[in-house]
Every structure is written in C-alpha cells, then in structure tokens.
Amino acid sequence: MALYPKLILDALAQVRYPGTGKNLIEMGMIEDDMKIEGETVSFSIIFDKPNDPFIKSVVKAAEATIEAFVGEPVQIKGNITVKAKQAPKPEPEKHLSAVKNIIAISSGKGGVGKSTVSANLAVALARAGYKVGLLDADVYGPSVPKMFGVEDARPYLENIDGRDLIIPAEKYGVKMLSVGFFVSPESATVWRGSMAGNALKQLIGDAHWGELDYFLIDLPPGTSDIHLTVMQTLGITGAIVVSTPQEVALADAKKGIDMFRNEKVNVPILGLVENMAWFTPAELPQNKYYIFGKDGVKNLAEKMEVPLLAQIPIVQSICEGGDKGTPVALNPESLTGMAFDELAARVAEQTEIRNLTQPATEKIKMKQKK
C-alpha cells in the first residue's frame, strides 16, 4: 500500500496524549516536516518538555497506529524525532503591560545633569499625581539611590502570581530600581556589555513595576550596547536628551539624537533639556551668568527640529538636594521646583502629542496655579 501524508495524519489523529484526552494533531504535537520515501516515513513529534514521561508511550502508540492504518509493516522506527518545544521566553515588555509611557533619558556626555533631571522629573510627575517608576540604568555611575537618599535600600523578592519578582524601592511617590542597589558603587563600572544588558533586562522584566503612567529610564551617557538593549527590549514612547550649552557637550548630544533617530532604533525625541543653562546666585535670583555659553541647547533643538523642554539654571540647591537625597522638585515654591514642574508639564504634553493615553498636562498646570 502506498504511503501518503493524509493516511499518516489520520493515523496520528487516533493517538491520544495521555491525560488530556486530545489526539496528537489537536494538541499541535506533529510538526510540519513529514517526509515519505518509498516505505519509510519520518516526522517529528513535539513535546513541551524534554523529559516528558509520556514520550516513549506516545511514540510507540504512533508507530503501532500507523502500522495498523497502513495494514503492513512500515519503516518508521527511528524516524520519529522527538523535539522539546522551546518554552517561550517571557518578553520583558509583557511585564510592563501596565505601563503607559516609557521615557528614556540620555545624554551625550557624563556629568551634564542627566540623573539630576531624571530624579527631579520623576518627583515632579509623582507630585502631579502620576504613578511613576524610575530605572537607574546608568551602570557606569548609578546615582539615583543617592539622589533619593535610599542608598541602603535592598530590594527584595516576592512571589507574585507564581513568579519571583523584585520589589522596587519607593520614595517621594516614585518606585525605583538601580544597579546601585545590587553592587557597591566602586564595582558598578565593571558592569559592561552583555552583563550590564542582562542585569538591566532583569530590572525591567523581573521587577514588579505594576501600573505606571510614566516609567523613566536614566540611561548611561553616550551611545552603547546598553542603549540598544534597552531600546530593543522595550517599546520606548520617547527619549529626552539632556545637555549643557557647552560646545563639546552639544556635539555629543547631537550624536545621541542621531542614535534615537537611526532607523534601527527609531525612537521619537520628546525634546531636549538644557541643564546648567546659566548660573544664578541665591542672593541675586534675577542675575544670569552664562557660564557654559548662552542658548546652546535651545539652538540645537531648533536646528534638529525637536522641542526644547526646559532650561534649568545652575543653582546650588539643585546640587545640594542631589547630595542630601532631597530633590529640589519636592519644593514647588522654589524657582528650581517650578522649573522642574514646568519640565514635567512639557514632558506630559509631548507624550500626549505622541498619541498617548491621558489628559496629562491639565493636571500639572492646575497644580502649578495653586
């Protein structure tokens, strides 16, 4: 009797997988790789686990049923391949399914105030009533723990819906995780390349971030594999690039913008933040000294056709607030607090423009009017 695929499939439709009552075809266990050569048939049966206890009995039952269907001995022995189905890898973004907006904050150079802006923006958004998460992904210099005064926080694991998840630290209404919680500051710099990428994937995908309106990611300075990992792991809503107005910083900021705009990355730029835009002494709040040059980032924003989100002056309290773990954005009455409120409003506005979820700006504007 000639062998043909339908005959074999009909036979396999009679073989049940023990325990389920369903046959191998219904279970999707027969791979689409059947070959028939003369009297020899070969195909693969897929099992969920490589150590499935029913492998032998199912293979035997398949052989016997095919022979019974064909009515004569068939050369199938050794030609049934058993494959284990690859357990689908959990996509980290699935675990961020309750996160509405993911915003990457980057800079071309270190020391321009990227983490200061990230921390204060997070606090300003939280004060405006949003649910905010902050991931300190700056593996070369994680500073979020210090800026929030939570250096001693040791995030713990909790079993949630059958998965062990890292519970972020929380302060000033901001949930946060940092590589700084897991390594001493001195050894953070050795987290390079794939090791850093993997650690970050874990802090994103294996953490209980829960529902968030804004998930801010404080990226390392420059452009690196880590940036690509984060971009490829997550659907980023938009990026913010922080720079000082100084020429050398601007050149690197432009490289950062080009990276986000690269067709492989393709992340919209929400806008630029000009930090250290001028120096204002506390005793002469109206005076502005343009230490790093005037409007450098503003001009770059115009040239690159991206919004300028804020110009933040150099003010001693910003630096002190960072060192003491009390971000200036906690104080809405101060000039600096207002500057970060304004930044939060612009970020919310730009996020909305990018077709996002909720009436964000109004809340913040109302808050500011009070």
Range 23-82, binding ligand ADP (CB under 6 A): none
Q: What is the dihedral of CA 124, 127, 133, 138, to 10 degrees?
A: 30
Judged by CB under 6 A, the residue of 322, 327, 340, 347 near ligand ADP is: 322
Task: Please state the three-class secondary structure of 291-324 as a single string.
Answer: CCCCCHHHHHHHHHCCCEEEEEEECHHHHHHHHH
Considering only CA atoms, give the Rg of the chain.
28
Contact between 116 and ligand ADP (CB under 6 A)? Answer: yes
CB of 227 to ligand ADP, least distance (A): 15
Please give the C-alpha separations between residue 348 and each of 71, 238, 300, 312, in angstroms, as whole numbers.
72, 11, 22, 17
Rounded Cα distance, 53 and 55, in Å: 6
Euclidean distance between CA atoms 229 and 227, whole angstroms = 5
Residue 112 near residue 252, CB atoms below 8 Å: no
Q: Single out the segment in contact with ligand ADP by CB under 6 A; choices: 19-27, 55-63, 111-119, 190-198.
A: 111-119
* Count of residues that bind ligand ADP according to CB under 6 A: 18
Q: Residue 176 interacts with ligand ADP (CB under 6 A)?
A: no
Please report whether residue 319 would count as binding ligand ADP according to CB under 6 A: yes
Nearer to ligand ADP, 129 or 325 (CB): 325
Could you tell me which of 346, 270, 258, 257 has the C-alpha nearest to residue 102? 270
**Which structure tokens are listed for 112?**
């321009």
Q: Does 325 bind ligand ADP (CB under 6 A)?
A: no
Least distance CB 274 / ligand ADP (angstroms): 10
Nearest 5 degrees, angle CA 250-CA 255-CA 257? 90
Subset of 133-152 contacting ligand ADP (CB under 6 A):
141, 143
Q: Does 244 bind ligand ADP (CB under 6 A)?
A: no
Binding of residue 110 to ligand ADP (CB under 6 A)? yes
Contact between 1 and ligand ADP by CB under 6 A: the answer reads no
**64 vs 319, beta carbon nearer ligand ADP:** 319
CA–CA separation, 209 vs 223, rounded Å?
A: 26
Considering only residues 101, 115, 178, 361, which one is a binding residue for ligand ADP as defined by CB under 6 A? 115
Residue 4: other Cβ atoms inside 10 A: 10
Residue 301 near ligand ADP by CB under 6 A = no
Least distance to ligand ADP from the beta carbon of 319, Å? 3
By CB under 6 A, tell whether 314 contacts ligand ADP.
yes
- Choose, by CB under 6 A, the member of 315, 343, 345, 347 that binds ligand ADP: 315
The SS3 call for residue 167 is coil
| Residue 275 lies near ligand ADP (rule: CB under 6 A) | yes
Residues forming the site for ligand ADP (CB under 6 A): 107, 110-116, 141, 143, 275-276, 312, 314-315, 318-319, 322
